[in-house]
Chains A and B, each alone.
Chain A
Amino acid sequence: MADVRLTDIRKRFGSLEIIKGVDLSITTGEFVVFVGPSGCGKSTLLRMIAGLEDISSGELTIGGTVMNDVDPSKRGIAMVFQSYALYPHMTVRENMGFALKFAGMAKEEIERRVNDAARILELGPLMERKPKALSGGQRQRVAIGRAIVRNPDVFLFDEPLSNLDAELRVHMRVEIAKLHKALKSTIIYVTHDQVEAMTLADKIVVLRAGIVEQVGAPLDLYDDPNNTFVAGFIGSPRMNFLNARVISSEAGYITVALASQPDVKLSLSAQSSAAKPGDEVSLGVRPEHFRPAGQGDADLVLDVDVAEHLGNTSYVYANVSPDERIIVEHEGFRSADSRDRLTVGVSAGSSFLFDSAGVRIR
């Protein structure tokens, strides 16, 4: 096990900069998840840590040693790929032991490590099969087993569950969490699925266009996002952003009125100097934070467009105005139909304020 430190890491393809100066510190045993939309650079960053992509500038250290130009096999890492990347001409046993055999390890030691990993991952009956005779979940377990036998300092996972169906994904997610608990190893995990990020991570790194937008514990990002991007990305369904205007700004409170329904006014706790009356802002409200009418600080009238009934709850897609559509999580709204009118309560305490550039006003 080892810590990983990235200092001003950059990646350029010609004149195009993909990773734009990432600083990150990952402590020993931590489960860190890189999350972000497609093309944000999260996989590139992971591949740079693995040594599969060159680092254009900056410094990468693993366990205190600079690894910029070190061969991938000498970095003390093991990687699990999205498509499993099992060697199709080898059996499960051969796949798992290949790297060790190649490194010249004694046959008995290889056998011991492979058998240990097979026991942990319950791969016993599959050991003599070729990858094509395995299901997706079994292949992924073999890929994890291949990483485990190397006893690496750092595990790297590149969207390992993306190719699995929904049920298996949930199962494997729990397996990976159990594995981390058992091995107590440092894990860097890439995903675009924020549910995976929230459930697995000790620390989430939210990336956008090669820049780290925010780093923090899952619930910290959920409760205290820095900007509209992080606020929108963390949480499902995503946070609603309502256009609003600042009415007053004094005594540690900023009062805003919605642009579409000026009667709806909320006073949020924030530094008064951060906004002045007349400023255009966004009011962020998560779908699950709407209250029944009369139970919030203000009531919002909505025209229901579509309602999705999931059984335990319903997601109501509704219009605040013809141009503003929001999602409301509404328990006990089973009979809702389109064109119904719905009134919901909004609380200042569970709402967020962002300036016109999308930066949080605290």
Chain B
Amino acid sequence: MNASRLFGTALQYAFLGLAAFLSIFPFFWMLISASNTSIDIIGGKTSFGDAFATNVTNFFTQVDVPLVFWNSTKVAVLATVLTIVVSSLAGYGFEMFKSKARERVYSLVLLTLMIPFGALMIPLFMMMAKTGLINTHIAIMLPTIASAFIIFYFRQSTKAFPTELRDAAKVDGLKEWQIFFYIYMPVMRSTYAAAFVIVFMTNWNNYLWPLIVLQSNETKTITLVVSSLASAYYPDYGVVMIGTILATLPTLFVFFVMQRQFVQGMLGSVK
């Protein structure tokens, strides 16, 4: 190996090492902080402490953990399932049905990607207020169901779905909705898995919109609870980090369970 190639390899490893450090360090810091007291954390302690059990006890004392997790799980799972069903139907429709208006409508859908959420917050809040949905979980889910990005993702993936499968299914006697549920969905399961991971993470981590529409403690999700712990007058950072760990676990679980399908889905479902 000559000197310039050695230097290039060393540079690659240095870059990858830095990227790995930047990715892993927050988790490492989170675990260290969860085992220390607030005073140790503020003091910059970077080793494991012995306050883990105390922090856990305090977290469970201060937070109604089953209720908060139930709220987050309910909202994230329902919103994810609804988003995927609605957006995949739209993506399938945009790709399969040809009409003169199709591309114009699709462009409008994509245009909504350009509108920042900040511009939609007030109109959405007014809509929710007028329909009496403030402080309900439906109010969190409704605006997320028709996702322009997921529609785009499904339309692009549907391009790889063989049209002859659809033709064969028609000859076999299936109606369009049956083709969608019996043929398209199983064939595109990797695409669905990847979409599930993306949408579930987005919904689980959703913070701003729930902060606006959820007003009572009974409806709050984990992100709001952790945030409220951190913004207390004297925040207990050890307890906050326990909350952060617990809030991270479900998304990690979903990702690791669906990792293979996620990668397949991002590369294309149909081989």
A88 to B183, CA, bound (A): 9
* Of the residues B162, B171, B183, B187, contact of A73 by C-beta under 8 Å: B171
Tell me if A333 counts as interface (CB < 8 A to partner B). no
Residues of chain B within 8 A of A102, CB atoms compared: 172-174
Residues of chain B within 8 A of A166, CB atoms compared: none
Is A85's CB under 8 angstroms from B173's CB? no
CB closest chain-A residue, reference B168: A85
* Of the residues B167, B169, B173, B187, contact of A88 by C-beta under 8 Å: B187
A169 to B168, CA, bound (A): 22
Is B170's CB under 8 angstroms from A52's CB? yes
A99 to B169, CA, bound (A): 8
* Of the residues A52, A89, A132, contact of B171 by C-beta under 8 Å: A52
Tell me if B165 counts as interface (CB < 8 A to partner A). yes
* Of the residues A71, A87, A132, contact of B165 by C-beta under 8 Å: A87
Is B187's CB under 8 angstroms from A52's CB? no
* Of the residues A77, A81, A103, contact of B168 by C-beta under 8 Å: A81
Count residues of chain A with CB under 8 A from any CB of chain B.
23
Is B170's CB under 8 angstroms from A72's CB? yes
User: Which positions 39-54 of chain A face chain B at CB distance < 8 Å?
Assistant: 47, 50-52
Residues of chain A within 8 A of B169, CB atoms compared: 87
Q: How far is the CB of B268 from chain A (nearest CB, A)?
A: 13
User: Which positions 57-89 of chain A face chain B at CB distance < 8 Å?
Assistant: 71-74, 77-79, 81-83, 85, 87-89
Q: How far is the CB of B206 from chain A (nearest CB, A)?
A: 33
A72 to B173, CA, bound (A): 7
A47 to B171, CA, bound (A): 10
User: Which positions 110-167 of chain A face chain B at CB distance < 8 Å?
Assistant: 132
Tell me if A98 counts as interface (CB < 8 A to partner B). yes
Query: By CB atoms of chain A within 10 A, which of B168, B174, B271 has the most?
Result: B168
Query: By CB atoms of chain B within 10 A, which of A83, A85, A132 has the most?
Result: A85
* Of the residues A81, A87, A132, contact of B167 by C-beta under 8 Å: A81
Is A72's CB under 8 angstroms from B183's CB? no
Is B172's CB under 8 angstroms from A89's CB? no
A74 to B174, CA, bound (A): 11
A77 to B173, CA, bound (A): 11
Count residues of chain B with CB under 8 A from any CB of chain A.
17
Q: How far is the CB of B7 from chain A (nearest CB, A)?
A: 44
Q: How far is the CB of B164 from chain A (nearest CB, A)?
A: 4
A77 to B162, CA, bound (A): 21
Tell me if B17 counts as interface (CB < 8 A to partner A). no
Is B187's CB under 8 angstroms from A132's CB? no
User: Which positions 169-217 of chain B face chain A at CB distance < 8 Å?
Assistant: 169-174, 183, 186-187, 189
Is A52's CB under 8 angstroms from B167's CB? yes
Q: How far is the CB of B101 from chain A (nearest CB, A)?
A: 15
A98 to B186, CA, bound (A): 14
A50 to B183, CA, bound (A): 20
Is B164's CB under 8 angstroms from A87's CB? no
Residues of chain A within 8 A of B162, CB atoms compared: 83, 85
A47 to B168, CA, bound (A): 11
CB closest chain-B residue, reference A74: B173
CB closest chain-A residue, reference B185: A89
Question: Given A87-B183, A89-B186, A73 and B173 touching (CB < 8 A)?
Answer: yes
Is B171's CB under 8 angstroms from A50's CB? yes
Residues of chain A within 8 A of B168, CB atoms compared: 79, 81, 85, 87
Is A79's CB under 8 angstroms from B173's CB? no
* Of the residues A71, A85, A89, contact of B164 by C-beta under 8 Å: A85
Residues of chain B within 8 A of A89, CB atoms compared: 186-187, 189
Residues of chain A within 8 A of B165, CB atoms compared: 85, 87
Query: By CB atoms of chain A within 10 A, which of B165, B169, B171, B172 has the most?
Result: B171
CB closest chain-B residue, reference A80: B168
Residues of chain B within 8 A of A87, CB atoms compared: 165, 168-169, 183, 186-187
A147 to B169, CA, bound (A): 12
A88 to B170, CA, bound (A): 16
A82 to B165, CA, bound (A): 11
Residues of chain B within 8 A of A73, CB atoms compared: 170-174
Q: How far is the CB of A127 from chain B (nearest CB, A)?
A: 19
Q: How far is the CB of A18 from chain B (nearest CB, A)?
A: 15
Is B187's CB under 8 angstroms from A77's CB? no
CB closest chain-A residue, reference B173: A73
Residues of chain B within 8 A of A85, CB atoms compared: 162, 164-165, 167-168
A157 to B271, CA, bound (A): 24
A99 to B182, CA, bound (A): 12
Q: How far is the CB of A179 from chain B (nearest CB, A)?
A: 18
Question: Given A87-B183, A87-B187, A81 and B164 touching (CB < 8 A)?
Answer: yes
CB closest chain-A residue, reference B186: A89
User: Which positions 73-94 of chain B face chain A at CB distance < 8 Å?
Assistant: none
A103 to B171, CA, bound (A): 11
A89 to B192, CA, bound (A): 15
CB closest chain-B residue, reference A79: B171
Given contacts A51-B170, A72-B171, A88-B270, 16 further A-B contacts (CB under 8 A): A47-B167, A50-B167, A51-B171, A52-B171, A73-B170, A73-B172, A73-B174, A77-B171, A81-B168, A83-B164, A85-B165, A87-B183, A87-B187, A89-B187, A99-B173, A102-B174
Could you show 27 A-B contacts with beta carbons less than 8 Å apart?
A50-B171, A51-B170, A51-B171, A71-B173, A72-B171, A73-B170, A74-B173, A77-B171, A79-B168, A79-B171, A81-B164, A81-B167, A81-B168, A83-B162, A83-B164, A85-B162, A85-B164, A87-B165, A87-B169, A89-B186, A89-B189, A98-B172, A99-B171, A99-B172, A99-B173, A103-B173, A132-B271
Leading 4 A-B pairs by shortest Cβ distance = A73-B173, A99-B172, A85-B168, A85-B164
